[in-house]
Chains A and B, each alone.
Chain A
């Protein structure tokens, strides 16, 4: 059954803008790039994993490798490859994790062509908290110059009938949140207590 639900107590996150995003200089950082509607217009992924939990797991996965996570919001595109590649070029290590509101995630590296990537997790309905933690951990290992085993990808043939149309809908909504001409902004995650969701 492909119905992962939130695994942690619901919590909330809001993103506070702290200014235009800039290129990092620390070689031990991974930039997490968030799509226009992430933790804003939307609050959870396609399978209801709270964005707060997604961020907490990604950051924990990065930090447990001794690497720093920096958050950036990309506003002028909802194209995952563009989001992730933009962030990779701003990352001191050249490594980024890009994520769309519905959960689709990609690990990118600044020297790769934009349409390539290090790891892609296209089936957003199959991404749960432990997977996000592993993605964070792998991104940090790439940042350290290591060659981690790719996070095992899962496949569910029945994801199509259950999630394809909702994914399209979320994609369209995310497009509506694009702010053309606005460059990436540095953001801080402000985690709050859970509210019943």
Chain B
């Protein structure tokens, strides 16, 4: 830095040092697709159906369809209603989305016939508050939920088990892990499954890996669901990902054939990030992904930009587009796990604001990965929220009387769950003849915050054992046996009940989760019935009493003490 720089005001110096100015912002470049949702280069809506077949889609004749057009035309769009639906003025459809007098089902009757460009045309009319209104009604499951990331920078299974137990206790309905060293996967997936069932019976777990291993762990009952099945909005990027809509559809059926819940993943910004947006806006391409997922018959989608959030986050209107992509997933009747799962901003204010369009109206999973470990341990490269933010999240739920899926839990309950999870894993490892977990490690797990607070494992021995888990074909049933024989009867029962669920297939239906009493809750038996003020999901009763509790609340009856 040279001394020729002009003098700055003291105020400018302060503003320059604010965290938000560490974030990156760029100008739009619509010709290349570096634009959120308003681009002259996106196609205009159109559709023509002949002999029960779409022959023109958004200005393209069938002969010129790329594979996304073909798949969407042949699988996602209801040809019987398409021409009538596309003919409805976009403003009227946008109004239907926010009109409490129009039911979710009424909207679905129209949206099933819409083309990608028509859907874009509709949501482009909506500001962010209207998008939130739409989400409130269109979310598939009536009761919102949340998903946690439980990972370890050292891939330490004891940490993963303890943090899974705490996360489940705090309210996450799903827990996801992944690895630094991929070969650790079997041990960490076992830890997640065991720890999760200690915290709260019925929590669903997954381990994000490449397709073959992920599917294999699921087939063995070591994990319960999967979501890292990526799809893309242009043919060229889809091919770069070494897949097609048909290969992904086949994979979707493969998961269902093993009774495993599954959702796809997509998000704004991935195509332009990979340099092949074909000159289309981020949201237009994401809508193509959403309709592709719909056509594949997968029950849900993780979207909300996900790992490309830095791209829409950097352009004007980017977070409006991200909120809109969540709405579109919901308005075509898919389960939506709505992002908020990747490091997004240096600014705490901006991090919070980013989540409001999902947290306030509620989505099927407000975060598709709230880091239930410190971000330094988050092997998904960091989330928008982590363990440090638990109390802030709980306070915001209480302030606005909204259900973000979590709750404050007393320290003694948390310590008990962490300790029990570590002991249960200790017993499972012993039963399966895996490298032993010491009492010191159990003690550390009980009180730890991060992976730095644990004794180091013998990594080579663990990796060898991880391989043996695969070679010996250890299954979820072996985990049940181990837990039962070690006296963890309740945990064993919880896990057996989760495994039994795959025989019933109930968790394959849209937006399904398991409640604490093992009732499958999905868009079928818990449909979103929002119809204006006083209807739909309302935070009340026992759940509201839970959310009133915080770490420090002064007692009204005795202000010299705190409640809880």
- Direct A–B touching in the complex (beta carbon < 8 Å)? yes
Residue of A with least CB distance to B375:
A157
Instruction: Take A157-B375, A169-B29 as given contacts and tell me if A163 and B275 are in contact as well, using a CB distance cutoff of 8 Å.
Output: no
A157 to B313, alpha carbons, bound, how many Å? 15
Please provide the chain B residues from 13 to 44 with a CB less than 8 Å away from any CB of chain A in the complex: 22-26, 29, 32, 34
Mask, A157-197, CB within 8 Å of B = 1, is 11011111111110110010000000000000000000010
A162 to B29, alpha carbons, bound, how many Å? 18
Evaluate contact between B22 and A158: CB separation under 8 angstroms: yes
- A78, A162, A164: the one contacting B311 at CB < 8 Å is A164
Evaluate contact between A161 and B32: CB separation under 8 angstroms: no
Mask, B228-242, CB within 8 Å of A = 1, is 000000000000000
Q: How large is the interface on B (under 10, 10 to 19, 20 to 34, 35 or more residues)?
A: 20 to 34
Residue of B with least CB distance to A171:
B275
Evaluate contact between B342 and A168: CB separation under 8 angstroms: no
Instruction: Take A164-B308, A165-B311 as given contacts and tell me if A172 and B272 are in contact as well, using a CB distance cutoff of 8 Å.
Output: yes
Evaluate contact between B273 and A168: CB separation under 8 angstroms: yes
Instruction: Return chain A residues, CB-CB under 8 Å to B342.
Output: 160
Evaluate contact between B272 and A160: CB separation under 8 angstroms: no
Instruction: Take A172-B272, A175-B275, A196-B2 as given contacts and tell me if A160 and B309 are in contact as well, using a CB distance cutoff of 8 Å.
Output: yes
- A161, A168, A171, A172: the one contacting B344 at CB < 8 Å is A161
A66 to B225, alpha carbons, bound, how many Å? 54
Instruction: Return chain B residues, CB-CB under 8 Å to A164.
Output: 24, 273, 308-311, 313-314
Instruction: Take A166-B26, A168-B34, A172-B34 as given contacts and tell me if A161 and B313 are in contact as well, using a CB distance cutoff of 8 Å.
Output: yes
Instruction: Return chain B residues, CB-CB under 8 Å to A161.
Output: 22-24, 309-310, 313, 343-346
Evaluate contact between A166 and B2: CB separation under 8 angstroms: no
Q: How large is the interface on A (under 10, 10 to 19, 20 to 34, 35 or more residues)?
A: 20 to 34
Instruction: Return chain B residues, CB-CB under 8 Å to A163.
Output: 24, 310
Q: Which of B269, B308, B311 has the most CB of A within 10 A?
A: B311
A160 to B342, alpha carbons, bound, how many Å? 9
Evaluate contact between B382 and A162: CB separation under 8 angstroms: no
- B29, B344, B376, B378: the one contacting A160 at CB < 8 Å is B344
B7–chain A nearest beta-carbon distance, Å: 18
Evaluate contact between B26 and A169: CB separation under 8 angstroms: yes
Instruction: Return chain A residues, CB-CB under 8 Å to B29.
Output: 169, 172
Question: In this assembly, does B315 line the interface, its C-beta being within 8 Å of a C-beta of chain A?
Answer: yes
A48 to B309, alpha carbons, bound, how many Å? 23
A121 to B378, alpha carbons, bound, how many Å? 20
Evaluate contact between B314 and A165: CB separation under 8 angstroms: yes
A160 to B25, alpha carbons, bound, how many Å? 12
A196 to B26, alpha carbons, bound, how many Å? 24
Evaluate contact between B344 and A157: CB separation under 8 angstroms: no
A196–chain B nearest beta-carbon distance, Å: 7
Question: In this assembly, does B516 line the interface, its C-beta being within 8 Å of a C-beta of chain A?
Answer: no
A1 to B17, alpha carbons, bound, how many Å? 12
Please provide the chain B residues from 223 to 274 with a CB less than 8 Å away from any CB of chain A in the complex: 269, 272-273
Residue of A with least CB distance to B272:
A168
A28–chain B nearest beta-carbon distance, Å: 35
A161 to B2, alpha carbons, bound, how many Å? 28
Question: In this assembly, does B381 line the interface, its C-beta being within 8 Å of a C-beta of chain A?
Answer: yes
- A1, A165, A167, A175: the one contacting B25 at CB < 8 Å is A165
Please provide the chain A residues from 29 to 77 with a CB less than 8 Å away from any CB of chain B in the complex: none
Instruction: Return chain A residues, CB-CB under 8 Å to B273.
Output: 164, 167-168, 171
Evaluate contact between A165 and B315: CB separation under 8 angstroms: yes
Instruction: Return chain A residues, CB-CB under 8 Å to B313.
Output: 161, 164-165
Instruction: Return chain A residues, CB-CB under 8 Å to B307.
Output: 160
Q: Which of A3, A160, A165 has the most CB of B within 10 A?
A: A165
Instruction: Return chain A residues, CB-CB under 8 Å to B32.
Output: 172
A1 to B21, alpha carbons, bound, how many Å? 12
A168 to B2, alpha carbons, bound, how many Å? 30
- A155, A162, A175, A196: the one contacting B346 at CB < 8 Å is A162
Instruction: Return chain B residues, CB-CB under 8 Å to A167.
Output: 273
B433–chain A nearest beta-carbon distance, Å: 34
Instruction: Return chain A residues, CB-CB under 8 Å to B375.
Output: 157
Please provide the chain B residues from 322 to 348 with a CB less than 8 Å away from any CB of chain A in the complex: 342-346
A160 to B346, alpha carbons, bound, how many Å? 10
A171 to B34, alpha carbons, bound, how many Å? 11
Evaluate contact between B26 and A160: CB separation under 8 angstroms: no
Residue of B with least CB distance to A196:
B2
A4–chain B nearest beta-carbon distance, Å: 13
Evaluate contact between A165 and B26: CB separation under 8 angstroms: yes
A155 to B377, alpha carbons, bound, how many Å? 12
Q: Which of B32, B376, B378 has the most CB of A within 10 A?
A: B32
Please provide the chain B residues from 365 to 386 with a CB less than 8 Å away from any CB of chain A in the complex: 375-376, 378, 381-382
Residue of B with least CB distance to A174:
B275
A157 to B275, alpha carbons, bound, how many Å? 22
Instruction: Return chain B residues, CB-CB under 8 Å to A175.
Output: 275
Instruction: Return chain A residues, CB-CB under 8 Å to B381.
Output: 155, 157, 160
Instruction: Return chain B residues, CB-CB under 8 Å to A155.
Output: 381
A152–chain B nearest beta-carbon distance, Å: 14
Instruction: Take A162-B23, A163-B310, A165-B310 as given contacts and tell me if A172 and B275 are in contact as well, using a CB distance cutoff of 8 Å.
Output: yes
Instruction: Return chain B residues, CB-CB under 8 Å to A158.
Output: 22, 343, 346, 382
A162 to B343, alpha carbons, bound, how many Å? 10
Q: A162-B24, A164-B273, A168-B275 are in contact. List 18 more A-B contacts (CB 8 A).
A: A3-B22, A78-B275, A157-B343, A157-B375, A157-B382, A158-B382, A160-B309, A160-B310, A161-B345, A162-B22, A162-B346, A163-B310, A164-B313, A164-B314, A165-B311, A165-B314, A168-B34, A172-B32
B-binding residues in A (CB < 8 A): 1, 3, 78, 155, 157-158, 160-169, 171-172, 175, 196
| 10 A–B contacts from the bound complex (CB under 8 Å) | A78-B275, A157-B375, A158-B22, A160-B310, A161-B22, A162-B23, A164-B313, A165-B34, A168-B26, A172-B32
